Amino acid sequence: MSRRLPVIGILGGGQLARMLALAATPLGVRCSVVDGSADACAGQIAPLRVADWRDLASMEQFAAAVDVVTFDFENAPAATAEWLRQRVPVYPSPEALAVAQDRVSEKALFRDIGLDTPAFAAVSTRAELDAAVARIGVPSILKTRRLGYDGKGQFRLRSGADVDAAWAALRAQATPHGLVLEAFVPFMRELSVIAVRGRDGGFRAWPLTQNWHHEGILALSFAPALVSAELAATALEKARTLAEKLDYVGVFALELFEHEGRLLGNEMAPRVHNSGHWTIEGAVTSQFENHVRAVLGLPLGATALRAPSLMFNWIGALPEPVAGALALADVHWHDYGKESRPGRKVGHATISSADSAQLLARAQDLAQVLGRAAQLAPALPVLQAGMQHNA
């Protein structure tokens, strides 16, 4: 009789599922993926079932073939997650998923655990939008409560004259899902906590990450963020409280704004996260491996830093020449095997260097080889400060 390896079922077959499957393999764990698209890129690594998640006959077969279910996509229908849970363990829980799917309940939870948020108001009618703008003011951002990601479903109001345009852009979303108006925060930096909680309640967090977005999409991540020990401890403590409150199992990201010395909660992602990709090379255990361990109830691995790291996200198309990037020391290349498409996450590169001076030099080399100086520019002052910090 052949040995039966544990199987993790993943709803969603994008790059996160692909990297989960890659991390699962050395542990003797297999992954099986369900996605509506036959060319979902995780299908190059793991068996792919092409099905709509609402197709219960397919879901029944899927559930019967896996030991536990998890997600690469936070907008998987909570009803499907709940239905699956009647058949097989599902981590994170459908309840945690439901909270994270709604920007208003997410912010209410943040406030509940003592984490401030930008001022916000739920909006579902034009009159409510006018009232919200009167209360919160401009600049502000109107967002869909659900199904928004990578800056999609957002409209920035720069002045009161933008209210009509904002309503016209998002009113179709106002009735089925609702909208939320948020004060625009002129933050000093964006940070994320990547953390993991096991089935036994054990909790670990990776060193804090600083992030830069371009047009609402993550462009760069740097770890460890150069914040005070006190701020880092507060961020980690909020992540832990959040995880305990949700009885969360698996990896999640807590996205934060640092503004006037305080932390404000932006959103949580109930899954492995783009700003944690650097952990593959930069930490003792990656976010992907620890998610696999967490959902299977295995001991969690150490989350300590191995080396300061900078991740470049590749959006739309991979930059060239790839061979030029591969020729540089400390550069780790990740090609998700996707076709190019505007706005699509097609790969990333992480530079993990022995020290901050080397990281800065390598980052400049990589940006130069690939013609990405503009992408690197916002992070340069931080990398330079990191060098002085360690000198």
Question: Which residues contribute to the site for ligand AMP (CB under 6 A)?
Answer: 118, 141, 148, 151, 182, 184-185, 190, 213, 216, 255, 266-267
Q: Are 220 and 310 in contact (CB under 8 A)?
A: yes
The minimum distance between CB 127 and ligand AMP, in angstroms, equals 22
The minimum distance between CB 35 and ligand AMP, in angstroms, equals 22
Q: Measure the CA–CA gap between 194 and 357, rounded to whole angstroms.
A: 25
Q: Measure the CA–CA gap between 315 and 220, rounded to whole angstroms.
A: 11
Q: Measure the CA–CA gap between 114 and 2, rounded to whole angstroms.
A: 52
Beta strands, E only, 198-277: 203-205, 209-214, 217-223, 250-259, 262-269
- CA Rg value for the chain: 21
Q: What six digits make up the tokens of 128?
A: 């409510």
The minimum distance between CB 177 and ligand AMP, in angstroms, equals 15
The minimum distance between CB 11 and ligand AMP, in angstroms, equals 21
Beta strands, E only, the chain: 7-11, 30-35, 48-50, 68-71, 120-123, 140-144, 154-157, 179-183, 189-197, 203-205, 209-214, 217-223, 250-259, 262-269, 309-315, 331-335, 345-352
Nearer of residues 106 and 281 to ligand AMP, judged by Cβ: 106
Nearer of residues 186 and 381 to ligand AMP, judged by Cβ: 186
Beta strands, E only, 39-132: 48-50, 68-71, 120-123
Nearer of residues 258 and 267 to ligand AMP, judged by Cβ: 267
Q: Are 27 and 11 in contact (CB under 8 A)?
A: no
Residue type for position 219: A
Nearer of residues 15 and 266 to ligand AMP, judged by Cβ: 266
Burial grade of 374 (CB within 10 A; 0-12, 13-18, 19 or more): exposed
Nearer of residues 269 and 366 to ligand AMP, judged by Cβ: 269
Nearer of residues 274 and 356 to ligand AMP, judged by Cβ: 274
Nearer of residues 186 and 342 to ligand AMP, judged by Cβ: 186
The minimum distance between CB 108 and ligand AMP, in angstroms, equals 16
The minimum distance between CB 83 and ligand AMP, in angstroms, equals 28
Q: Cα angle vertex 59, ends 56, 63, to 5°?
A: 140
The minimum distance between CB 273 and ligand AMP, in angstroms, equals 11
Buried-exposed string 32-47: b where 16+ CB fall within 10 A, e elsewhere: bbbbeeeebbbbebbe
Nearer of residues 118 and 250 to ligand AMP, judged by Cβ: 118
The minimum distance between CB 288 and ligand AMP, in angstroms, equals 21
